[in-house]
């Protein structure tokens, strides 16, 4: 590994059809080295191979779970594979999530713990590892080929949800964790902005994203065909890039990604 190129890290790619994978593909095309963190090696390897075959440089870092020890181990492996001297970390996206949609009295203690562990604690540990790297960085240089621009050391992004700002009849456990991410990101934005680190705290994904999983449980070809009625992962990734490109004179913190045609969303039973 010779030339200096910026590093993009994303946690949470699911089966490779959602926001995390779309972001990895986009930044890989833009010349970033890409580190993929997620549970399960199969989809990670498939996405890394896809990025590499299309001219990018990506490596998978599978972890068994989103516990603090596993996340820290993942970052240690990333630094072995992508040394900071040639791959300074410039963009990081926390896209992992644990969805639980049940009536309140049906939610178990274990499900609450799982939601908080992934949606809040894991976000905290991920952010800590990222910010430890960012605080060591100098300002991004044009020679790196990244998109952050001058006066910026790095950009940290959290994928949020409607449940980050309002609860609903079956989202009590899920909303607890997502509210936590919003509070965490707001605090980090205020603290680390003073060090020219951009924390784009929360992207509210306010609607259904068209992924294989969502297409499966909705089973609605008309919805799939209507580009104004569903969110596309590639479009969300482009919005993430817009935040990376913001300079320090006008940084954003929070944005709602909404549908062009706002409709009342039907409540579906999530598998």
Residue 246: count other Cβ atoms within 10 Å of its Cβ.
17
Q: Which residues contact 103 (CB under 8 A, 6 or more apart)?
A: 169, 170
| Mean pLDDT, rounded, for 190-195 | 94
The pLDDT tens digits for 52-108 are 999 999 999 999 999 999 999 999 999 999 999 999 999 999 999 877 888 999 999
Q: Which pTM value belongs to this model?
A: 0.85
The pLDDT tens digits for 133-151 are 999 999 999 999 999 987 8
The Cα 1–Cα 8 span in angstroms is: 16
Q: What's residue 220's pLDDT?
A: 57
Largest Cα span, the chain: 57
pLDDT over 60 (residue 218): no
Residue 152: count other Cβ atoms within 10 Å of its Cβ.
23
pLDDT over 80 (residue 217): no
The token pair that represents 16 in the structure block? 């490779």
Q: What's residue 27's pLDDT?
A: 98
Sole residue written with tokens 């009342």:
264
The Cα 159–Cα 20 span in angstroms is: 9
């Amino acid at each position: 590994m010779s030339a200096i190129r910026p590093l993009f890290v994303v946690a949470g790619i699911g089966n490779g059809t959602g926001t995390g994978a779309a972001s990895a593909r986009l930044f890989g095309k833009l010349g970033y080295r890409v580190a993929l963190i997620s549970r399960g090696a199969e989809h990670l390897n498939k996405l890394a191979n896809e990025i590499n075959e299309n001219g990018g440089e990506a490596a998978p870092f599978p972890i068994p779970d989103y516990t603090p020890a596993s996340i820290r181990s993942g970052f240690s492996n990333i630094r072995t594979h992508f040394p900071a001297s040639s791959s300074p970390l410039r963009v990081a996206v926390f896209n992992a999530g644990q969805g639980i949609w049940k009536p309140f009295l049906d939610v178990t203690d274990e499900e609450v713990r799982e939601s908080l562990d992934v949606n809040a604690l894991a976000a905290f540990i991920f952010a800590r590892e990222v910010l430890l790297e960012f605080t060591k960085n100098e300002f991004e240089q044009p020679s790196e080929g990244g998109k952050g621009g001058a006066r910026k050391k790095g950009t940290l992004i959290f994928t949020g949800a409607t449940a980050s700002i309002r609860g609903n009849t079956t989202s009590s456990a899920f909303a607890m964790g997502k509210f936590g991410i919003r509070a965490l990101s707001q605090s980090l934005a205020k603290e680390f902005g003073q060090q020219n680190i951009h924390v784009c705290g929360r992207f509210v994904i306010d609607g259904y994203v068209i992924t294989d999983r969502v297409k499966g449980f909705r089973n609605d070809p008309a919805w799939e065909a209507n580009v104004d009625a569903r969110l596309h992962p590639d479009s969300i990734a482009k919005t993430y890039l817009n935040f990376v490109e913001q300079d320090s004179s006008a940084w954003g913190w929070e944005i709602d990604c909404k549908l062009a045609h706002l409709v009342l969303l039907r409540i579906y039973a999530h598998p």
